[in-house]
Structure 1
Amino acid sequence: MQRSLTYTAMPPIQVPLPFLLAAPCFALAAALLLAWQGETALASRWSPVTLAMTHLLTLGFLTMTIVGALFQLLPVVAGVGIPLARPVAALSWSALALGTVLLAGALGLGLGPAAYQAAAGVLGLAGFVILAAVGTAISHKIVPAARPLVRGVRLASAGLAVTIGLGASLALYLSGMGPLDAPLLTDIHASWGLVGWVVALTATVSFQVIPMFQGTPAYPRSLESWLPAALVALVAGWSAAALAGVGPLRLAAEAGVALLLLRYAGATLLFFRKRKRAADVGTYYWVLAMGSLALAALVHFLPLGADQRPLLSGILVIAGFGMSAVNGMLYKIVPFLVWYHLQSDPSLPRERVPALKNILDGGRALRQWRWHVVALGLLAAAPFAPAVLARPAGLFQALALLLLIRDLGGAAGLYLSLRRPPSGTVVQGHAL
């Protein structure tokens, strides 16, 4: 169901943009870590370097972008704003960024117990501020048509709360505080973080942004309503079965999640065949994301090694689905934010505002997508030949992310340059 959008309710650009610009820098750090460590980073899912890379991507890239997108989307789509948006965004951004650096340093560099404790505290603060801000916003009266979006946000926020709680417990355990069944809780933590938070919320957001930016038919209201709820319910059932040691129920929940992911990916790919607009880099990224998600679901049923299956599943969900979907949204959202806030500025002459298509060159975006595809292919194959493919995968991914940083930074730089008072000649437009 298509919704009317309230663009006048947009927060200041300073609210979402720092999240969207910082996120690729954390992913670049993960790629450089892979290029530096090579085989060690993909030898096992329990490698400290692997865990550091995982959290740089899930916290620094995916969660950073998701939070920025939520602060932007909720006022526009649901008609509810984040209270005290600018100071809340600044505090959320600072705590999430610092906590991610501390945790990655503790995991990957062995910074010691104090770093784990500090990371648990700072990331706990970030989670509290984000969840309180989003929860306060969606507790108000919302636009009726946005109820499925808000329901999905509520469910995914619950997933984030569980993820943070388990993550903080594991960080304190690693600092030497208290006994835990760390492998079991790590599995549960990863399941809630990837499925209950990243996939559930990305799917919820995609129900809005894919029809909006790609011109596809609207998703059926039934799919919008039950998919996030079913994912969260299955993860909860899987967690209970894992804690209780009930193997058959655990396997059934895993199979249920896999089938749901296949259903969502298949429906989205079908809608792309019915789109009304020409394909662009956003289309290619979403198709890549859905193909990766479907492959991740199928990997569950393949006879792979004990380390290969979780590594490959994680790569396909985090880098294939999450990073691809986020990259596609960044190439749409950042230029739109720059263009909208420029043309809404009454002090800026209209002739100085470039057309939306000139904010960020489509050819550059397409080249970045190609490098990302190559990197993803190498990364997906790396668990089977880490000594040969790990470093090339890291280098290609680093190159793709440098291009993304250049493109998004160029759009932000254009915004700043046009907001300055003109000196001498009038700028007619600017194409990056």
Structure 2
Amino acid sequence: MRIIKVLVRRGLYSHRHVTFVCSVAVFGVTSFGLMASIYYGYYDPINLLSSVDDSIRGQFRRWSPAGYQNIHSRLNTALHKKEGCVECGVSRHKARNNPGAAANPWHGTLTPTGDLGWPTCSLRWAAARHSAHVKHLNFSVSVLTTARDLHPSVFGRLRSHPLPYGWKDVPEETITEAVRLLGDPWDSRLFERGSLTCVRCAVVGNGGILRGSSQGTAIDSHHYVFRVNGAVTEGFEKDVGTKTSFYGFSTNSMKNSLIAYEDAGFRKVPQGQDVHYVFIPANSRDYLMLTAAIRGIPVTSGPDKGDHPSQYFGANQGANRFKILSPEFIKYIKDEFLNSTQMIEFPEVYMPSTGALMLMTALHMCDQVSAYGFITENYMDFSDHYYDAIKQPLELYANHDIIMESKLWAALHAQKVMRLYQRPSNH
């Protein structure tokens, strides 16, 4: 301030000009210091971006949600390409002391970086490096339904496709009431990253390959665990673990599972303060159940009229415990990855399976994904479910193309986009 007063007093510059020049200089020095701190490892840029995300999502995402996701992704990419590994527990200054080192995507040990200069633990590194299936991963597609979908342009587009790929023939009030009741209406994330720099997720299917696998500890070691449908854990903790972060289902699949697998021990869906629920909008009844669950009242109409959601999810559940997949995300998964011939033969019933949608959700939300209990090439050597008392063959139905899905998982595993748990048969 003293310098400004001297220059103004001598008549060399106006007060406004001197203030502007000094402000630019201070901004430049501050920016240079911040970039140097990131470069030499004093700040973790991923955590820095996460804090920015928390502060601006209510403004920038409101203006352009897709544009925000694109810029956020490009910022991460630029930081990764600079040098070394900033994820998986390896800081940038450590990478400088060991050039070309990054974290192994599954064990946390040091391995060379990819030819793109990104840490190999980053899913975006794998998506950019590998072939057709992986290059089709589109991180700008909204995974979850948010208030953005109620904008006239988006709402109109969704009204042109039937469920589960849109909202055609669904009463407008059914949709709008459910979407407006969700938590932060502009938050398209399943979780807050917090201090985590490399988010590891396990998606647990119910395949018989898990029986006798002793994978429970490995599953529970992930930051987040996704389970689906008849997710029996009691009595199978050693094989499937106990942790549940997200339970994925449609109202129909949840109710059918409670009936079909009751004798196996599935008498209630996962509950607890750490459990969140992800609806798959296969039918209008899913929006009605979601509305009732958030409002804490019985379902008001449809085939589930009179049902108390608390009997499934527990009492006093807040809106932040519930999410619902975007119909456009389901359509994108079907079009890009699972466009089966069954869509032509059985267009009114075919859709990706619950397990497939939860696995693809994790692939678009997490940095590392491991899949357990999904069918593999030798699926006939195992029972349909890990909790089957007697070995049962895998049953195939017209509404899902499980064989096509299994080939997709094998391809993504081979391309190191995810890790698919596989093992030889017991005989």
TM range (shorter): under 0.3
User: Is the helix fraction higher in 1 or 2?
Assistant: 1
Report the TM-score when normalising by structure 2: 0.27
Could you state the TM-score of these two structures normalised by the residue count of structure 1? 0.27
Higher relative contact order (CA 8 A, sep 6+): 1
